[in-house]
Homo-oligomer: A and B are copies of this chain.
């Protein structure tokens, strides 16, 4: 009957990241109702702070009641109808996921691909947008599978000039680097709580521009998903505050506290903290044989993709990750998709972007790699 004690983990993978104790305590507060005036005041506060982080005045900015992937689905489900053209920039697993999600809705998907670890080619995107004249253009700001930071404005401008709505994946960027949806001309964006917001997974912050809301309200066909239909969500997350579904109250308590902590620190300090932690990580990993996958100007500060030492091998990397977890309580992320077995993804996200965490990882790795080298000699 008693719950087994959980091991302490330092979560240095691609998310979840560790959660501030104040956020955990906020989630442990006794519930109030989802239509309780005190809860609605917290929801107001959360929505306003999310607008700040997203860099937008969009009224329809809200924590969707599901994880980040549902945020992606919400953007496409509301803005695309069967037969619509969509151009998607694919620079990794999450661009591919966008294409899958959009095609299931019945959209006609044109992918513009680039090698994992590189940024999308702005010219190729621009030419394709001009040729296809899509209803929606979508790409990933911070590709969680490769650690690439994608420049936004050139593609967004080309899309808007062609009359398309622009969807941006901000899952890994929100709360770690500044975002300016309005300045960049983004119509729909989504994120997740378990990355740089340092909250548990479970909510997807999303933001829809007035143009996006208009598109959703003037569709020829209903949004296929009742749960994600922004026309219905507006009833609860807008001025009326009427019942649609029951909001995940405790998760919203946690997010409210997480957003307060971010506001207290300030985004500029937070960005600098992420940059410094990433720099020290890369400097420490290089002598151990881990080399950055991504060229310097396009590296994400909160998530570093590192090519593994050749000697490690596919079985070796999995075993080493397991030794880090079991021996040191440190989780790092494996490669995903094409990069499985050839890179690690090391996240220093939100609360975790601190030099003490970098040192913990480097010390553990140094010890484990030294032991690996000694072992064959003892045989």
Q: Which residues of A contact B (CB under 8 A)?
A: 1, 3, 6-9, 11, 13, 15-16, 18-19, 22, 24-34, 36, 38, 65-70, 73, 77, 97, 100-101, 103-106, 192, 194, 200-202, 222-227, 243-251, 254, 256-257, 260, 264, 325, 331, 336
Q: How many whole Å from A267's CB to the nearest CB in chain B?
A: 16
A16 surroundings in chain B (CB, below 8 A): 31, 33-34, 246, 249
Q: A194 to nearest B CB, angstroms?
A: 6
Contacts of A192 in B (CB 8 A): 246
Chain B residues within 8 Å of A222, by CB: 103-104
B243 touching A68, Cβ below 8 Å: no
Known: A1-B264, A257-B3. A248 touches B69 (CB 8 A): no
Could you tell me the distance in whole angstroms from the C-beta of A274 to the nearest C-beta in chain B?
A: 19
Mostly, the A contact residues are: loop
A22's closest neighbor in chain B, by CB?
B3
**Shortest beta-carbon distance, A22 to chain B, in Å?**
8
A24 to B6, CA, bound (A): 16
Judging by beta carbons under 8 Å apart, are B202 and A251 in contact?
yes
Give Cα A272–Cα B254 distance, bound, in whole angstroms.
35
Q: Please determine whether A31 and B3 come into contact, CB atoms closer than 8 angstroms.
A: no
CB distance from A18 to the nearest CB of B (A): 6
Write out the residue numbers on chain B whose beta carbons fall within 8 Å of the beta carbon of A67.
65-66, 245-248
CB <8 Å contact, B33 and A101: no
Which residues of B are found within 8 Å of A248, using beta-carbon distances? 67, 200-202, 251
How distant is the Cα of A18 from the Cα of B30 in the complex, in angstroms? 7
